[in-house]
Structure 1
Amino acid sequence: MMEFVKSLQCVHCGQEYDPAVIELYCPDCGYNDGILNVVYDYDSIGKQFNPSSLKDCRRYSMWRYLPLLPVADSDTIPHLQVGWTPLYRAPLLAAELGVANCYVKDEGRNPTASFKDRASSIGVIKAIEKKAARITCASTGNAASSLAGFAAAAQLPATIFVPKTAPEAKIAQLLIYGAQVFAVDGTYDQAWELCMEASAEFGWYNRNCAVNPNLIEGKKTVSLELVEQILALGEAMPDWVAVSVGDGCTVGGVYKGLWEMVRLGFIAKVPKILGVQAEGCQPFVTSWQNDAPLIPCEALTLADSIAVGHPRNFAKGLQAITQSEGAYIAVTDAEILAAMKLLARKAAVFGEPAGVAAAAGVQRAVSAGIIDKSATVAILVTGNGLKDIKSAVKAAGSPIIIPPSLAAVKAAVK
């Protein structure tokens, strides 16, 4: 709970702030550099949050981790079931990817069918705490539909900015939940800047994860769950955790959750993290490979959820890979489409393009010698395939058209 939150610390200059005074970003460094991190009193948390206490907890959702979340009042928690998504052993997929063992965590099982529900649930709670009249965000699709769903659960008006190229299914989700939707005739980065301007102009609560440190706290719960679920199986932690990367918030959250489980004594070390981007939009890969600062780029990929040419949480996204001694890698759109089929047919999990990019990245990383063939990997599938039917159809191919006769079936079977 908030009693364990000590401060918000700027990742750029190190200055610490009272979260009751400063919430979004460091005023000295600005929102491009002054990303904040929620700092907790882990010594106090450890006295009531440990393997023994969790063993007796029957709250199978992300709210079992309340001591590690910036929530002031548990009565503001929405009724929607979020978190505690299934973790599957996937031996057939492991064989195809070229690794010894593989786990798949299906985040498409969250209420609006994506990982972003973990963040949006926190965002809506913080907006209620601030007595905000409206909440807003910019998104390539999933954060938007997620916010719309959780805003509806709280009966909180929402205004959302998306690029007009966002998949139709995601825009339909926004509208069905009752959000006000602005489809911006431009890129995601332009939609993001417009959202920032509108938020400041109208005083709307800003759910944008890159400038709101509370949102990553929701995202990190996927790692807290992963650790618990692996340990419950009586097995060792995976050598690698693979996740697709857009603006850097998700991979930053994945790292923080793993680090906290080390800090609190659940596991001995943080697994290596594989950050996966699309070749048509790979600013993190470029920076990591060349040990260079961020160079924004175009976003040319069908994986809309990671089509972010100017990642706003660059510091945390890069830190996650360097501090876990992991790696960044890029995959083609063709590899992503192939991974949609592979994941569905070998693990029976239907993921959207960005959701399966991590699986494609594992396959590429094994071929490149980054991941050893003896390794165990956990793949985070961040969104359901029904979010982007056009890509699914492109990946799966066409049905066999026949007349309504058994003879036609027999001919087709032959």
Structure 2
Amino acid sequence: MPLCVLCASVVIFLMLERTMAQFKLRCSECGGVFSEDPKLLVCPECCKQQVQGGSLRGVLEVEILDGPTQWPDAPLGSPDFLQQVLPLGDPSLLAPLAVGNTPLLDVPRLRRELEMPRLWLKDDSRNPSGSTKDRASLLVAAKAAEYGFETIATASTGNAATALAAVCAASGQRAVVLVPAGAPPAKLTQMLAYGAEVVPIDGSYDDAFELCMDACTKFGWYNRNTALNPFTLEGKKTLALEIARQLAPETPDAIIIPTGDGVILGGIAKGFADLAAWGLIDRVPRLIAVQPQGASGLISALASGAEDVTPVPGAASIADSLVVEAPRNARLALRRIRQSGGGGVTVSDETIIAAIARLARLTGVFAEPAAAASLAGLEAALKAGLVDKDERVVLLVTGTGLKDRDAAARSVTMPSAVRPELSHLAERLGLVR
């Protein structure tokens, strides 16, 4: 090999070594540290305390050992950017989808309505499948390819399944998804259209979660179950990285986060913690969790000072994406909320429904019930004194309203038809003198 070609190859290799994020896995409970292992999903010691149907024990977090000390030049969400901040050896394994780099919106009308001049909206409904869950699925699918798994499976209330289906459609991987039979038809249609093998479960999300764990063990599939797979938390941390970069040089004071299993919240906490450790921000924001009243195990535990949740049998809400009996990432989420100085609120289904239309009218962002819960939660947090009106607050919208049109229809009144005559139009619009 000519010397010049050899030197060029060495330079390229060194560049890859420098940009590839090196990492370990650390148990969020006992602090045990582990090397990467395709079969390692939870701490082998702490998981011995696992209770059937309870929150996960021994949740692992990725610990980046050589994160960037200055912001990467690469565009947010690009493979070059992700390789520097995620445990990703080969960026070519990422599905060719434009996941992430969603806008942080000025919302002048909502600011005036709430008298919050420094309010922002992070619109994650712009992701390819329409939800935040694409972030986790993108990384999980890349790691599955890296490890040599042909099939990825997940349990989901709907959005994680559609996200995995979309990513696998783009990457050519097999997706098996287990979802409650009562999931919104639009979400079921979406995941079927992407080509996933969809198995409706005659039971709850929690039932599907347990079945997915058994199936992955039995059939040798890679398990994407949220919280169980540490790369779900890690993938969702990109939300925090984007918010910090888009708002720089300012740092948000609080983030309003719709919360089900607690993994989006845990991922956001992880992202801000990484940024602080790398010296890219000087403090972390308070995390404010929002749960529906009918599925509020995490908020109840937060209020009582408990370290874990008590499952809520028969949990139910119009915000299907937030409905879990036992939030799987509860222990870590509770700890991260408290460490941030944040808190939590519950909201009724009625306020969630009202927030769908209100958010759309005042911002132009059409949100599904779980995502609109963030606006209802912000107003509850204001009343509870968890946030102040003059603070820098980011409202997180996690999914598009097109995922549950039936629920959105309950937030508006459908007008009756008029005859195609100008006089009837004028009467309808109140233009008749």
Q: TM class by shorter-chain length?
A: over 0.9
Whole-angstrom CA distance in 2 between matches of 1:66 and 1:131 = 19
Change (3 A) 1:332 1:97: farther
Counterpart secondary structure, 2:25: strand
The aligned amino acid for 2:210 is E
**TM-score after normalising by structure 1:** 0.94
User: Which has the larger displacement, 70-79 or 243-252?
Assistant: 70-79
Secondary structure of 1:209's counterpart equals coil
Question: Which is greater in Rg?
Answer: 2
State which drifts further: 370-379 or 18-27: 18-27
Counterparts of residues 209-358 of structure 1 (less than 5 Å)? 209-231=226-248, 236-292=250-306, 293-297=308-312, 298-358=314-374
| Deviation for aligned residue 1:60 | 5.0
- Calculate the aligned-residue CA RMSD, in Å: 1.7
SS of equivalent to 2:101: coil
CA 1:200–1:60: 2 relative to 1, 3 Å: closer
The structure 2 residue matched to 1:375, chosen from 387, 391, 411, is 391
2:67 maps to: 45
SS in 2 for 1:144: helix
Q: Which runs of 5+ in 2 are unaligned?
A: 1-16, 51-55
Q: Taking structure 1 as reference, are residues 181 and 19 closer, same or farther at Cα in structure 2, changes over 3 Å only?
A: same
Runs of 5+ unmatched residues, structure 1: none
User: TM-score with structure 2 length normalisation?
Assistant: 0.90
TM-fit CA distance, 1:354: 0.7
- SS where residue 152 of structure 1 aligns? helix
Q: Is the 8 A contact 1:62 1:84 kept in 2?
A: no
Are residue 107 (structure 1) and residue 131 (structure 2) matched?
no
Residue correspondences, number: 404
- Taking a change above 3 Å as real, the CA distance of residues 61 and 104 of structure 1, as seen in their structure-2 partners, is farther
**Structure 1 CA distance, aligned partners of 2:415 and 2:405?**
15
Structure 1 residues 86 and 390 mapped into 2: Cα distance closer, same or farther (>3 Å)? Answer: same
| SS in structure 2 of the partner of residue 396 of structure 1 | coil
For 1:94 and 1:362, the matched residues in 2 are separated by 12
Q: Deviations over 1:163-216 (max 9, x none)?
A: 011110100011001111111111110111111111111011101121110121
Shift, 1:72, TM fit: 1.5
Residue of structure 2 equivalent to 1:364 = 380
- Over 3 Å counting, the alpha-carbon distance change for 1:3 and 1:58 in structure 2 is closer
The structural deviation recorded for 1:21 is 6.0
Pair 1:404-2:420 in alignment: yes
Superposition map of 1:187-226 within 5 A: 187-226=204-243
Query: 2:324 is aligned with what amino acid?
Result: V
Distance 1:373 1:327 in 2: 16
One-letter code of the match for 2:208? A
SS at match of 2:67: helix
* TM-fit CA distance, 1:367: 1.4
Contact 2:309 2:331 in 1 (8 A): no
1:404 Cα shift? 2.3
Which range moves more in the overlay, 287-296 or 9-18? 9-18
How far apart, in 1, do the equivalents of 2:116 and 2:40 lie? 42
**Aligned pair in 2 of structure 1 residues 296, 62: CA closer, same or farther (>3 Å)?**
farther
